[in-house]
Structure 1
Amino acid sequence: MPRFAANLTMLFTELPFMQRFEAAARAGFEAVEYLFPYAFDENELAAALKANGLVQVLHNLPAGDWEAGERGIACHPDRVAEFRDGVGRAIEYATTLGCPQLNCLVGKLPAGATHRDVQPTLVDNLRFAARELEKAGLKLLVEPINTFDIPGFLLNRTDQALALLDAVGSDNLRIQYDIYHAQRMEGELANTLSKHLAHIGHIQLADNPGRGEPGTGEINYPWLFRHIDAIGYTGWIGCEYKPRATTTEGLGWRQALTAPRRIGFIGLGIMGTPMAGHLIDAGHTLFVNTRGAVPDAVAGRAEACANAAEVARHADVIFVMVPDTPDVEKVLFGENGVDCSSIDPIATRDFAARIAALGCGYVDAPVSGGEVGAKAASLTIMCGGDEAVFEAVRPLLETMGRNVTRVGDVGAGQITKVANQIIVALNIAAVGEALVFASKAGADPAKVRQALMGGFASSRILEVHGERMINRTFAPGFRIALHQKDLNLAMQSARSLGVALPQTAGAAQLMNACAALGHGQDDHSALVRALEALAQHPVMPDTHR
């Protein structure tokens, strides 16, 4: 989990500034940052850091007349001497405070000037600052800021910041990447962080809209924090947001990330095992039950229970990851049980009502993404349930999945999963038919697939399952028998709704044929075997690897 620094300009504002250090330490922060130290004696600030066991990770260079609306002077040709004096003053403070890096707010475009007019001044000033900071063992940062909050600010996007770094040409200059500003101006947070991590020296956060704490807006912070860990960022993340209430009341997002929970997990199969592993890796205590022996990946890291009732006695949240509706019915009696199995939506609503009568919450949360998604914690999780219950378990779901969505009330998750399985099955059938056709017509199916990947027919199914059909690698990621069950649910539901699903019916028959041919435990990409049997022609021989 990333390390978080309290921004004392934004947090604990109900207290005088010098009292915010103690408040940050009491709240569990180990580091702080703030906009400017210059209104205070540097030794007094250093004493506050030391007394509260805190480190300071960032402050800004002097930025002109802040109260008058100035937001930096590095781009002002007529204020070069003032800027360079400010660099010296900032170095003095940073040295006393043990602060390893300083941020330069480049400023608003001066009235009547163009970007071209001020670029030489900005580049020269940053070269000077980077050189002087390097002499003192400090890093220099520049920060893109959105134009909604600060109209006229000169630096707004990551690509502009990268171009500025190139123009300055100093290894001592990095980007301060503020997630809130980046979300407003460009989005693409994860990809940008991954691609340009080597140029990022510091990260700050706030949610959007409103610049509130994580969890108050549109940014999926639990997933993003895992991504930041995964790409190898080891610096601090500054909490530069506006608390909705008091700072302490708004720290629930941080507590949810770090507080371990007692979790039950029933069903440690191909997907359940890596999902449970992610919960363990996040620091939670797991109580597990499964058919047969507990897999090695979980054994020794979780407490094995003899049955579902024992799991329920230990856990306050239970995940159920078992094959079918009758299996779920046997094990769904634990507080705030979360059903991740794909089962009948009508039965799901009945189960939820029975669970609610016992005073517990219920979320149906079927998953998509197969074994690969389960191992990578990138599952799509489709949820149905009361909003408050969903929000209570959402951080846990986001530990296992990338795209976690509450679709509606109980049953909505299962309905969404059935729709997902219809789409996936029809795509597998379409790819299978195309490759059987191409192969029997004499074309190389591997080259046909390669060509199609560059056109409108490209899809994730063609990419992954098309390759499996060609390479004859049908080790189960998601078994035909389970997809067969899901399509049966689709047909049963369609019958009760009076809806015709002719293509789904055809795909279901192909699944049935595969099972009859002995391939029920193979990956669902082996549906192509039914098409090959009808054509009396394989896409490739089974000896092909």
Structure 2
Amino acid sequence: MKFSANLGFLWADRPLPDAIRAAAKAGFDAVECHWPYAVPAAEVKAALNETGLPMLGLNTVRGDVEAGENGLAALPGREADARASIDEAIAYGRDIGAGKVHVMAGFAEGPEAEAVFLANLRHACAAAAPHGMSILIEPLNRYDAPGYFLTTTDQARGLIEAAGAPNLKLMFDCYHVQLMEGDLTHRLQALLPLIGHIQFASVPDRGAPDHGEVSFAHVFEVIEGLGWMAPLGAEYKPTGPTDDSLGWLASFR
């Protein structure tokens, strides 16, 4: 198996270029991030070139975080802001060689929000396609993100089918899916053609994958058996220094 370090949580106490170097030293095969925009893209690209790690993807901005926003793309009346955030993410991703952009929906509900989200996703897919990039959507669980527009893989499937864009894919986060739906391995099998990236963390505490209610040794074996070749994203929250949480990495390889 190959693994990607999500630098939104791992080595989050370090500047992003230094976190990339730490991930390489620890033996990860790739990196991904949340919101890198405060760091000049040239500095991130230099660290990626130095280490040889690919940057798999990044998120669109959350919006007004102090006001409680967690994404813009499904918010009626915020279409201009949402599309600006999408264009920003695609441009930054292009500059650092990232292949995927996660478009964050935000807190919303109802048919109008769905229509706005679909329109923004079509914009994102059209803007990303010339750069060979994919757009990801990710269901978030209702415990960590109550009120988030996108919460289940069935809902995500419907949106992907409705959008009709070949570069719109599902971010399958095992942590969120287990909390909302369970049945991880069957869902992975059923949704495989729609999946653009897979992430993981222990359930229910979102820690390293060596404990909790999910046997990731089994889940990873199933994923490997499905022919999945891309790195799996370690998006968990260490309880102490990241380096002290990495005992799972060698064993799960």
**TM class, shorter-chain normalised?**
over 0.9
Moved more, 36-45 or 179-188: 36-45
Q: Which runs of 5+ in 2 are unaligned?
A: none
Moved more, 45-54 or 179-188: 45-54
Displacement after TM superposition at 1:20 (Å): 0.9
Cα-to-partner distance string for 1:388-412 (whole Å, 9 max, x where unaligned): xxxxxxxxxxxxxxxxxxxxxxxxx
Ranked by relative contact order (alpha carbons within 8 Å, sequence separation 6 or more), the top structure is 2
The residue type equivalent to 2:189 in the other structure is S
Cα-to-partner distance string for 1:368-390 (whole Å, 9 max, x where unaligned): xxxxxxxxxxxxxxxxxxxxxxx
Q: Which runs of 5+ in 1 are unaligned?
A: 259-545
Could you say which structure has the larger radius of gyration?
A: 1
- Alpha-carbon distance in 1 for matches of 2:25, 2:84: 36
- Alpha-carbon distance in 1 for matches of 2:86, 2:130: 12
**Residue number in structure 2 paired with 1:144:** 139
- Alpha-carbon distance in 2 for matches of 1:9, 1:244: 14
The within-5 A match list for 1:85-124 is 85-109=84-108, 114-124=109-119
- Alpha-carbon distance in 1 for matches of 2:14, 2:204: 26
Cα-to-partner distance string for 1:311-357 (whole Å, 9 max, x where unaligned): xxxxxxxxxxxxxxxxxxxxxxxxxxxxxxxxxxxxxxxxxxxxxxx
Cα-to-partner distance string for 1:411-459 (whole Å, 9 max, x where unaligned): xxxxxxxxxxxxxxxxxxxxxxxxxxxxxxxxxxxxxxxxxxxxxxxxx
The within-5 A match list for 1:466-477 is none
Cα-to-partner distance string for 1:477-510 (whole Å, 9 max, x where unaligned): xxxxxxxxxxxxxxxxxxxxxxxxxxxxxxxxxx
**Residue number in structure 1 paired with 2:240:** 245
The residue type equivalent to 1:196 in the other structure is L
The within-5 A match list for 1:180-219 is 180-219=175-214
- Alpha-carbon distance in 1 for matches of 2:42, 2:126: 25
- Alpha-carbon distance in 2 for matches of 1:143, 1:28: 27
Cα-to-partner distance string for 1:10-45 (whole Å, 9 max, x where unaligned): 011343333211111110112110101211111111
Q: 1:203 to 1:67 in 2, by over 3 A?
A: farther
Alpha carbons 1:184, 1:208 under 8 Å: kept = yes
- Alpha-carbon distance in 1 for matches of 2:65, 2:55: 22
**Residue number in structure 2 paired with 1:69:** 68
The residue type equivalent to 1:199 in the other structure is L
**Residue number in structure 2 paired with 1:83:** 82
Q: 1:122 to 1:182 in 2, by over 3 A?
A: same
Displacement after TM superposition at 1:67 (Å): 4.3
**Residue number in structure 1 paired with 2:228:** 233
The residue type equivalent to 2:11 in the other structure is F
Among 109, 122, 125, the alignment partner of 2:120 is 125
Cα-to-partner distance string for 1:195-245 (whole Å, 9 max, x where unaligned): 110000001110011100011211100111110000111222111101132
**Residue number in structure 2 paired with 1:31:** 30
CA-based RMSD:
1.3
Count of residues in Structure 1 that have an aligned counterpart in Structure 2 = 253
Report the identity percentage.
39
Alpha carbons 2:136, 2:170 under 8 Å: kept = yes
Secondary structure of the residue aligned to 2:245 is helix
- Alpha-carbon distance in 1 for matches of 2:82, 2:62: 8
What TM-score comes out, normalization by structure 1 length?
A: 0.45
The residue type equivalent to 1:54 in the other structure is L
- Alpha-carbon distance in 2 for matches of 1:56, 1:150: 26
Alpha carbons 2:29, 2:231 under 8 Å: kept = no
The residue type equivalent to 2:18 in the other structure is Q
Moved more, 164-173 or 184-193: 164-173
Secondary structure of the residue aligned to 1:213 is coil
Secondary structure of the residue aligned to 2:61 is coil
Alpha carbons 1:201, 1:235 under 8 Å: kept = no
Q: 1:53 to 1:107 in 2, by over 3 A?
A: same
Alpha carbons 2:101, 2:135 under 8 Å: kept = yes
What TM-score comes out, normalization by structure 2 length?
A: 0.96
Displacement after TM superposition at 1:66 (Å): 3.0
Displacement after TM superposition at 1:88 (Å): 1.7
Alpha carbons 1:14, 1:246 under 8 Å: kept = no
